[in-house]
Structure 1
Amino acid sequence: MLKEKAERPTVTRRVRAGEMMSQGASDRDVIEALQLSRQTVHRYRKLFEAGGVDAIQALGVGGKTSRR
């Protein structure tokens, strides 16, 4: 069975990135600590600046919706 959204590894890393940003971490710090791409961290930074950690956490988890 699928994990709840908040338990998925991608969401966990995303929230951790937001927490690091709120503590003053640079993009490079986030990239290295969480093994994320520069583009991903840049996107998270823009979201963080617009709405804080909540804005990053609100991103969808991606993938297709099940037909069931």
Structure 2
Amino acid sequence: MLQDQAVVPVCGDATRMAPEVRRALTGIFASRTGTSAGDADAWFTGLRQANRFLEDIWGAD
């Protein structure tokens, strides 16, 4: 779906959940495309810049 311009909304805990979502998405991208972690991070940054990865996150107490 991401290859077809899907938008990914994420809502939840900024401390644990948000970093794990990022790790999961970049890990999937790297394994599917055979690219490096740096390339996956760049891809993820592009998703954010294109407003295709939207976060509504908050800190946990």
- Bigger radius of gyration: 1
Superposed pair shares fold, TM > 0.5: no
TM-score by length of 2: 0.43
Structure with bigger RCO (C-alpha 8 Å, 6+ apart): 2
Select the structure that is richer in strand. Answer: 2
Q: Which one has the bigger helix percentage?
A: 1
